[in-house]
């Protein structure tokens, strides 16, 4: 998981050549897409928020006929995404945009589908899904993955770590309730399997630590970034039964007041 408290340049350097910047997989993206009753033959307007280097963007491009705006705060990630898009068959349907997820330059009701894997924590789940809901057309879909507790109780060491790293971490039912309160109909959720964390995310990241440290002359900042990643990985291996990413699929409610206008 990308943390904002360490030097951003180092963070971008460590992550930019990674296939992905958070837990996930191609199968998971496809599965989430399959849980939405979207007509994939239509040209949908899709926004991928916190896209990183675009692991899920390319899957969305392959599996839909949509036009995708891929948004991230860091140009180095977007450059990688553009290279990947150019090497794919979908370059003409993928547009990148450097912007903050907290201040997106779109009109209300612009999108049929808002997608965000492993990124909404940067502004907080509740704030994110509430703000992004305005950008969805009525009846539009939200697909968002978010770190979630898998049980009511958990070990203190683990709770302490995540309360510090991301106080909004919550149970699946808490996340679903936030979606209901934010004007969505929750449609489905599922939990990301272990390999999404280990094989797809932590292992490729760990493989980059030595060269990264060398490149930065073992500076205190570089070492502290690697140490904090190692601690997160250690905790994951020890406690992975207690938390994972949940993938949440929801549909923006159509405005109930429209029913009031029906003549009786
Ligand atoms: N979706 C990608 C990346 C997840 S990591 C994947 O699953 O592989 C989180 C991403 O959010 C990073 O690419 C990071 O650069 C981006 N990010 C962090 N803060 C952001 C902000 N305020 N606005 C937009 N993107 C942000």
Pocket test for ligand 1, best of 73, 100, 246 (most atoms within 8 A of CB): 73
Pocket test for ligand 1, best of 28, 50, 117, 165 (most atoms within 8 A of CB): 50
Q: Whose CA is nearest to atom 22 of ligand 1?
A: 100
pLDDT at position 46: 98
Residues having CB closer than 6 A to ligand 1 are 2, 20-22, 24, 50-52, 55-56, 71-74, 77, 100-102, 117-119, 122
Q: How far is the CA of 72 from the centre of ligand 1 (A)?
A: 6
Atom of ligand 1 nearest to the CA of 119: 9
Pocket test for ligand 1, best of 58, 68, 119 (most atoms within 8 A of CB): 119
Q: How far is the CA of 52 from the centre of ligand 1 (A)?
A: 5
Q: How far is CA 222 from CA 2, 153, 185, 214, 226, in A?
A: 14, 34, 43, 9, 6
Q: How far apart are CA 219 and CA 139, in angstroms?
A: 50
Using 50, 70 and 90 to split pLDDT, how confident is the model at 34? very high
Q: Give the domains, in start order, of the chain with CATH numbers.
A: 7-254 (3.40.50.150)
Q: How far apart are CA 81 and CA 96, in angstroms?
A: 8
The angle at the Cα of 237, spanning 233 to 242, to the nearest 5 degrees, equals 110
Averaged pLDDT, 15-28: 96
The answer to whether residue 236 scores a pLDDT higher than 80 is yes
The answer to whether residue 261 scores a pLDDT higher than 80 is no
pLDDT digits (tens, 9 = 90+) for 44-62: 999 999 999 999 999 999 9
Q: How far is the CA of 174 from the centre of ligand 1 (A)?
A: 23
Q: Whose CA is nearest to atom 23 of ligand 1?
A: 100
The answer to whether residue 259 scores a pLDDT higher than 60 is no
Using 50, 70 and 90 to split pLDDT, how confident is the model at 37? confident
Query: What is the average pLDDT score of the chain?
Result: 94
pLDDT at position 260: 52
Using 50, 70 and 90 to split pLDDT, how confident is the model at 5? very low
The answer to whether residue 173 scores a pLDDT higher than 80 is yes
Q: How far is the CA of 264 from the centre of ligand 1 (A)?
A: 49
Using 50, 70 and 90 to split pLDDT, how confident is the model at 28? very high
The angle at the Cα of 177, spanning 175 to 179, to the nearest 5 degrees, equals 75
| Backbone dihedral angles phi then psi of residue 119, each to the nearest 5 degrees | -135, -25
The answer to whether residue 2 scores a pLDDT higher than 50 is no
The answer to whether residue 141 scores a pLDDT higher than 60 is yes
pLDDT at position 41: 86
pLDDT digits (tens, 9 = 90+) for 82-133: 999 999 999 999 999 999 999 999 999 999 999 999 999 999 999 999 999 9
Q: How far is the CA of 261 from the centre of ligand 1 (A)?
A: 41
User: For the residues of 123-160, what is the DSSP string, one character each?
Assistant: T-HHHHHHHHHHHEEEEEEEEEEEEEESSS---HHHHH
């Amino acid at each position: 998981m990308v943390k904002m408290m360490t030097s951003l340049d180092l963070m971008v350097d460590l992550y930019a050549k990674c296939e992905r910047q958070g837990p996930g997989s191609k199968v998971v993206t496809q599965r989430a897409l399959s849980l939405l009753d979207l007509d994939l033959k239509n040209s949908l307007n899709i926004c991928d928020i916190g896209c990183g280097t675009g692991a899920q963007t390319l899957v969305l491009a392959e599996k839909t006929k949509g036009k995708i705006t891929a948004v991230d705060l860091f140009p180095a990630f977007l450059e990688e995404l553009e290279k990947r898009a150019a090497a794919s068959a979908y370059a003409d349907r993928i547009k990148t945009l450097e912007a903050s997820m907290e201040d997106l330059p779109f009109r209300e009701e612009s999108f049929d589908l808002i997608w965000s894997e492993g990124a909404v924590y940067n502004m907080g789940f509740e704030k994110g899904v509430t703000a992004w809901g305005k950008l969805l057309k009525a009846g539009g879909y939200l697909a968002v993955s978010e770190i979630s507790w898998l049980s009511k109780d958990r070990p203190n060491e683990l709770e302490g770590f995540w309360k510090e790293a991301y106080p909004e971490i919550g149970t699946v039912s808490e996340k679903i309730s936030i979606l209901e309160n934010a004007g969505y109909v929750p449609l489905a959720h599922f939990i990301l399997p272990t390999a999404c964390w280990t094989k797809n995310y932590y292992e490729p990241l760990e493989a980059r630590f030595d060269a990264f440290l060398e490149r930065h002359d073992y500076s205190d900042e570089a070492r502290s970034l690697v140490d904090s990643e190692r601690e997160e990985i250690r905790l994951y291996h020890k406690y992975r039964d207690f938390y994972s990413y949940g993938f949440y699929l929801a549909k923006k409610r159509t405005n109930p007041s429209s029913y009031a206008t029906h003549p009786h």
